[in-house]
Chain A
Amino acid sequence: MSEQRPAGAAAADRLPVLKTHKVYVGGKFPRSESGRFDRALAPDGTPIANICRCSRKDVRDAVTAARGAQAGWAARTAYNRGQILYRIAEMLEGRSAQFEALLAAGGAAPDGAAAEVQAAVDRLLHYAGWTDKFQQVFSSVNPVATSHFNFSVLEPMGVIGVLAPESPLLGLVSAVAPAIAGGNTTVVLATGSQPLPAVTFGEVLNSSDVPGGVVNILTGRSDEMLAPLAAHRDVDGLLLCSPDPDVARSAEIEAVHNLKRVAVRPHEDWAEVQSPYEITDLQEVKTTWHPIGS
């Protein structure tokens, strides 16, 4: 028999239900195949949520999803990719309050949280604008001494493994947006101390016309997931957002198996990390020699 309680007391006595935030893979929200989870803690140590502790098999599945989505994403017109990035910005703007609350729960001051969400929205707009322009700026017709047209164009690398920065929203957006703007697909390890904005950003992506698999977001521990991601032979490039030189170095060693390109972003403050070179660093240059006349 349950004990009779006076009205109103129930809320105070009630054990809170902690949400288990699922990960974002292939446009779906699965749990980790491992069944494991970690506690996300507020700065004062109180548990605020459960998050999936993903395994290397989740990494494998995410790479499969990213590979499956890559050709289709790269084949979209640059203009359409811009529209979709713009749509992500719109959806993020609409959920500003939720992200401000998440950032505040992670210890950000209210003003700072609002400013970070706005900066993240603006960053998406920035790269939305660049999708159909960076080719014009960075491709070239090259002077050669033979009777050839010689021109260089940028092509996406393919699947990019991203070690997300500690900066939970602005840093994440600053790393992912230029990668997908250029036609890559990504596997993002959101292993910082505040993973909640990242998994919630997955919900934003899912309602933003981004095809499933273009961005895949895993939570857990980087010491379990980074090495298999860095070594994975179906990953074409790595974007390592960590100030720790040892993390970058060990990942670069794993990356030699298939000669991945590795870009390191050691920034702790992401306010100014915005440039078309963030896109071109995740592109390959294709140079074509085309014979002319005789």
Chain B
Amino acid sequence: MSTTGTRVESPPIDAVGVEERVARLCSRSIKKDAKLQALHLTLSMIDLTTLEGADSEGKVRQLCAKALQLHAALPELPHVAAVCVYPALVGVAKRALEGSGINVASVATSFPAGQAPIEIKLLEVRKAVEAGADEVDMVISRGRFLAGDFAYTADEIASVKEACGDAHLKVILETGELGTLDAVRRASDLAMRSGADFIKTSTGKIKPAATMPVVLVMLEAIRDHYLRTGEKIGMKPAGGISTAKDAIRHLVMVRETLGQDWLDPDLYRFGASSLANDVLRQIVKQRSGIYQSFDDFSL
């Protein structure tokens, strides 16, 4: 599919209105049973992530073990949605997660900068999928996008989607580099029209990452896309969401913007490395009444 030449019409974003809406949504109080449910849902939506130059096979196997059993004392907890690694480590993760129902996600397209020739990016995507990746997290070429070359960005996404085959494609906009909410909205619309299954805020390497206003703008783009086409596109905020409290605020925002259907790991994910343990801490606190230590949970 080529979208060269298509014009992306995106509505202007009222930044002040977005801030106010976010502030209102953040003031919701979720307690007791509702909180516990939200915490369980959060766990099932986590893409447990390690994206460091120093990642080794052992590190990935350890992360997969964590994904398979989040907390030994609570074996009935839901497992996370996916484990997210670099392409070179997809095979290791795939073997470790065999038969568990946990997906393997791989970043690709010269993550995180995306500054490589398109042929190399596509090869990387194919290699990741060959190695067993169920999901591919690509980065867009922010430089080309910011220079106004929207057609290039759209073609890039469409060709990566083609290279993905059956694997789900998440498109990372890297909103921390896009500058304005208007650009975030435009990039979201462009990604959805070019074949993204998910749109994702950030690589986690740039700050700010998944701020609430940015996520709200993306959720509204998903809503408008759904109303126009009937297609349900998923959302993945990533970077900077490290506490259960933040995660619950995100869930409130999703519920209020997109409705119940999106409160599902098939359509909403958290990209996070330390969120799971804070959620576990809160779950155990909620059940026992005793404040927990991070020392009580595995890495």
Interface, chain A (partner B; CB < 8 A): 59-60, 63, 228, 231-234, 257-258
Contacts and interface: CB of A to CB of B under 8 A. Distances in A.
Interface residues of B, number: 8
A233 B293 CA distance: 5
Nearest to B292: A233
- Mostly, the A contact residues are helix
A23 to B, nearest CB: 18
Nearest to A60: B291
Contacts of B290: 228, 231-233, 257
Contacts of A232: 290-291, 293
A59 B291 CA distance: 10
Contacts of A234: 291-295
A60 B293 CA distance: 11
Given A231-B290, A232-B290, A232-B293, 20 more contacts: A59-B291, A60-B291, A63-B291, A228-B290, A228-B291, A231-B289, A231-B291, A232-B291, A233-B290, A233-B291, A233-B292, A233-B293, A233-B295, A233-B296, A234-B291, A234-B293, A234-B294, A234-B295, A257-B290, A258-B293
Contacts of A228: 290-291
Contacts of B294: 234
7 contacts: A59-B291, A60-B291, A231-B289, A231-B290, A231-B291, A232-B291, A257-B290
Contacts of B293: 232-234, 258
B21 to A, nearest CB: 25
Interface in B110-148: none
The list of the 7 closest CB pairs from A to B, nearest first, reads: A234-B293, A233-B293, A232-B291, A231-B290, A233-B292, A60-B291, A257-B290
A232 to B, nearest CB: 4
Contacts of A258: 293
A59 B290 CA distance: 12
Contacts of A59: 291
Interface string B261-299: 000000000000000000000000000011111111000
A233 B289 CA distance: 11
Contacts of B289: 231
A257 B284 CA distance: 13
Nearest to B284: A233
A258 B294 CA distance: 13
Contacts of B295: 233-234
A99 to B, nearest CB: 33
A266 B293 CA distance: 29
B26 to A, nearest CB: 16
Nearest to B291: A232
Contacts of A231: 289-291
B80 to A, nearest CB: 24
Interface in B193-217: none
A105 B296 CA distance: 46
A59 B285 CA distance: 14
